[in-house]
Structure formats: C-alpha cells, structure tokens
Amino acid sequence: MATKKLKTLAMTAPTMPSFPADKFDVFKNAVLSELQQRKNIHDGKWGIDRLVWLVDSGLREKVWLQLERVWQAQEDRDDVKLDKAVKGMCKAYQAMEDWAAANGVSELPDLGQIEHQRDDGTVFVIVPDERAKSLYCQQWPGTTDRDVWTAAEIAIILAKQAGGHLSDIKRLWPESKLVAVGGPSGFDDMVNDLDMVTPSKQPKLFDTKAFKGAK
C-alpha cells in the first residue's frame, strides 16, 4: 500500500506489526519509532513544525527533501535507504535547532497551549484566552498550517452541537470520548444490512391476529 505523502513534517505513526508480519514492515515501524521520538522531543521544545517555517529557505528546502527521502524509501521498500533517510531526518531536526540557537530564536513559550497535529499535517491548537492566542500566533509569522482556538470559543461551538447536550454528557460521564462515526458523510457510509423492503422469510414468533382477538 502506498505511503501517504504529506507537505508537512507530519508522519504516519509507527505501529506494532501483526504477526506473521512482512519483514520490511517490521523494520519500517522499528526505525520510524526512532524518528517519531525525535520529532516529539523537537515539537515539545519548539512547537509542532514551528522551526521549519522560521529557518532560512535553504535549510527549509533541505529538510523537506530529506523528509521526501524517508517517504520514497518506504515506497521503494528499501530498508537500507530507509535507515539512512531516518538518520538523516534526525540530523535535520538537530540542524534546525542549531540554526535557531545561532539566530536567537527562542523556544516556544508555555502559554498553556495544547497542540494536536491532524493526519493531514495541520495543527489544531487550544489556548486559555485571547491574550494567549495573540502571543501564540506571534510565534508563527505568516504560516497557515494551524488554527488556534480559545477555550471560550470551543465552549461556544460545543454549546451549539446536539442541542447543547454534549456538555451534559461530559458532566455525567467525564471520561467519555467523542469519536467520528462512519466515513465522510457519517452514518450514510455504513453498510445497511437490514432489508426494509423485501418481506421477511423468517417464521413468525408472535401471532398478531391472536393478539387482536384477545382484546
């Protein structure tokens, strides 16, 4: 199966393979775990994919080309190339951090933000208030890869969903989890295994005529 190519530093999360497993898939997930750990350390200190937008264009191009090598090695199912590409990508994170230190770029300040990178590489961010949002946005001049919301804005949106009952559910079941159901169009994407048109051929278990006579 083709590996999804992204235009950001996001990567498909490595998983523990099912056994019996393909030899390359085992190797791939093992080395990608190393890269994911390096990215997590980088993102936790500097912000998700922040430095790649702040470094000079020459370094940015090298970082993106190195990430493409990681992608291409997976497409080619070449374990030697993938090993080299992952090691090179780890060095790319270090190169960006060295550039930041040399150019006076500070680490991402703690504004109480919560960052989450979606599957498409864009970043969903929640901050405590408008002041924090303003300060946070100053860390990413000119980029459009993230949407930043205050806690108050999220509360307004939730209050308008499901008749406002989502908050009631969360108060009753604090550990409940909201998940997407079905495909892009929701329940319509589910296979309908109930035939509502063709008369059932199953034997009747309840005699409706006898029930009417019992009235």
For residue range 200-209, list pLDDT tens digits in order. 676 666 665 6
Residue-level pLDDT at 159 = 86
Strands (DSSP E) along 75-129, which ranges?
114-117, 123-127
DSSP SS3 for 126 = strand
pLDDT of residue 17: 66
Note the pLDDT tens digit of each residue in 70-108. Answer: 999 999 999 999 999 999 999 999 999 999 999 999 999
> From the CB of residue 70, how many other CB atoms can be counted at a distance below 10 Å?
21
User: Mean pLDDT across the stretch 104-129?
Assistant: 93
